[in-house]
Structure formats: structure tokens, C-alpha cells
Homo-oligomer: A and B are copies of this chain.
Amino acid sequence: MKSSKLALSRRIRTTPFESRVLEQGPKVFSVYNHMTLASVYRSPQEDYEHLCTHVQLWDVSVERQVEVVGPDALALVELITPRDISRCAIGQCVYAPLVDEHGGIVNDPIILRLADDRFWISIADSDVLLWLKGITYGSGMEVKVFEPDVSPLAVQGPRADELMAEVVGPEVREIKFFRFIETEIVGTPVYLARSGWSGQGGFEIYLQDSSKGIELWDAIWKKGQAFNIRAGCPNLIERLESGLMSYGSDMTLENNPIECGLERFLNLDKPAEYMSREALDKIIRNGVDKLKVNLMIEGGPQSAPRATFDVVSQDGIKVGIVTSLAYSKKHAANLAFAVVTTEFATPGCSLKVVTEKGERVAIVKDRNWK
């Protein structure tokens, strides 16, 4: 099954921008956090080229927020991630894998610090709300956890600064990477962050009132005409080139952040209590038997697998699986994320991938595809 028709019901929630998204005629949708997410507009390649050259407007309402507020807010947010959140300033956001007491990854959100005792967890595709409600209830922590009426709209691409300077003012150019400001657009308060799920630069606008969705979209769309704006969405080719993993595809609760190569985002010695400390200590002490790698697969375009392709050694023994795949014209090769036995996880290592079209040579690359 490559694609099929999507049946819709109230259970798969609408977004505040949905009618405008539909006007732009996306070809396929995904479902993410019980909500629709456009996945391709023209073709993955056309969308990619436009994203890397101009500016795009992305309905990423599916990045639902879990608000954590109250006296124990920092303690709770510290508890659920091995990243040191005490270092996160108000107005800053950090990428923070959420890890359970066994070392399993629950989600890999961006955490925004809105105040000393108030955070938004901008989540990937799993019900973090229920997890935090459970921990809070069980532990008796003094904190409120809920999903606020917040829907992010992303402006991504090399011309995002020019466009947002037109929409908001020149001060947007001063926003540093993974920092945000409070401002207003179309008279409604928004947080404006320099962030987004691409490597092309840009902003995420956190709308806090669904009823203003169309007005917000239209205001940016109108100013965007001068910059050749198009509707867009997270792009598979671009995210592979930029090394962005997708929760549920490239990592799940079955994976730990060490084998997923996320150590650089962790502060394992942080002072605060966190639930995965013992488990991660043990994992590091014992070493991991598999690792996430970047694989460059030779030959022409190979469609992405529905399930997974096996990775095999030169001897034909299965040593791992491919978790995401796309053809990159820039590299003239298929780029893939895979998880392979540790001994084969060294850049330069030559492996094979069993695709639908047969075996292909695959070379392990470093994080920058070198």
C-alpha cells in the first residue's frame, strides 16, 4: 500500500487553517496527533525545490501543545527529559527527547519556556498530554496539565525573514535561533519563534485562538505574494537531507536516545531529578547493540517503504532496518535513516539494502551525509 483514500470523521480533528489548505490542493494527507496534516502539494521534489528557494506557509497545527503550569511545572518538565531545562530561559525553546524510566523515547518535542512556572511542550505524534496527566495524578505534583487552544503556523524557507519583517516588523530579524517573542498579528497575540521542521530557516507562529486562523493565514499569504509564497508542509527529501528524524518512524518507545544518536541533546549529569537517569546510565555503561545511521543508497529513485526494508551485511546477514527513505537529487542518491548493529554503524561501512527492486549497495555516512 503506497497510498489510499483517507476516511474522515470528527475523531480526526480539523485545523483552524484547513479551508485555506484545501484551496491549495494538497495531494495527500497524513494523520498526526488525531489531526490532518497535508503531506505533499505538487510533488515531493517540486515542494522541496520551492521550499529551498522561496518561502512556504505550513499548517502545522498537528504540533499540539501540552501546557504545564504551576509551582511544580519546572520539576515535572525536568523529570520527563534528560535535557537540562533549568538552563532554558524564558523566551527560549529547546529540543528535548522525553524518556521514560526504562530509557524508551515517549516523544521528541520542542519545549518552550513561557514563564518561570509555565511551559508549552510542542509535541510529535503521541499523546504526551495523557502521559503527563498520569504522572501528575500519580505523584501528586502541584501542576496543571492541559491542551490549550494553540495551533502553530510555520513560515519556512530562505525568504522567511523578508516576509515576516513585512508582516510583523524588522525586529523579527533579531530573533535568534530557538528564541521567541510575544507579538500580535491581525490583532491576535502570538508567540513568534525562529524554529521549524526544516533546515531552510524560518519561523513558527503560535496562534492562540482558533477562530483567528483564516485571518492569520490570509494576512501572511497576502504579503507573501511578493516572495512567491506557496503552501507547504514538512518535506521528506528536505528532512532527510537536514537529518531530522520523525517520531514513530525513526524512533519509538522501543528505542532509547543513545542508540538514536541524540546524546548531544542530553545533559545526563544535570542536577534535577529525571526519571530516565538510572536507565540511561545503565545503557551507556553496557553500550548499545544497535545505532541509528545515515545510509546513502546507490542507484536511481527508490520509493519509500510502506513497512521497512532490511539492511544486510556483505555476507547477506540482516543487520538492521531502514526507517525513512527519499531520493535526493542534490546527492544523486537515496538517503535513508536506518538502525543497524553497532559494529556496522561506522561511516564508510558498506552494506546492502533489500528494496522492492532488489539489493542495492548502501554506504554508512555521518550526520552531514559526508
Contacts and interface: CB of A to CB of B under 8 A. Distances in A.
A248 B39 CA distance: 23
A324 B248 CA distance: 29
Contacts of A136: 134, 138
A338 to B, nearest CB: 12
A299 to B, nearest CB: 21
A14 interface: yes
Contacts of A139: 137-139
A342 interface: no
A249 B7 CA distance: 13
Nearest to A9: B249
A128 B307 CA distance: 24
A34 B248 CA distance: 8
B10 A307 contact: yes
Nearest to A26: B4
A262 interface: no
Each complex incorporates copies of this chain amounting to 2
Given A1-B18, A126-B127, A10 B308 contact: yes
A115 to B, nearest CB: 23
Given A100-B137, A127-B126, A127-B130, A30 B7 contact: yes
Interface string A20-56: 0010001111111010100110000000000000000
B10 A324 contact: yes
Interface in A214-252: 246-250
Contacts of A5: 3-6, 27-29
A88 interface: no
A63 interface: no
A2 to B, nearest CB: 7
Nearest to A14: B307
Contact of A22 (B1, B106, B249): B1
Contacts of A307: 10, 14
A6 B12 CA distance: 12
Residue in A11, A247, A248, A304 with the greatest tally of chain B CB atoms within 10 Å: A11
Contacts of A323: 10
A12 B248 CA distance: 8
Interface string A107-148: 000000000000000000111111111111111110000000
Interface of A: 1-12, 14, 18, 22, 26-32, 34, 36, 39-40, 100-101, 106, 125-141, 246-250, 253, 275, 304-308, 323-324
7 contacts: A5-B6, A10-B305, A12-B30, A127-B127, A132-B134, A134-B134, A134-B138
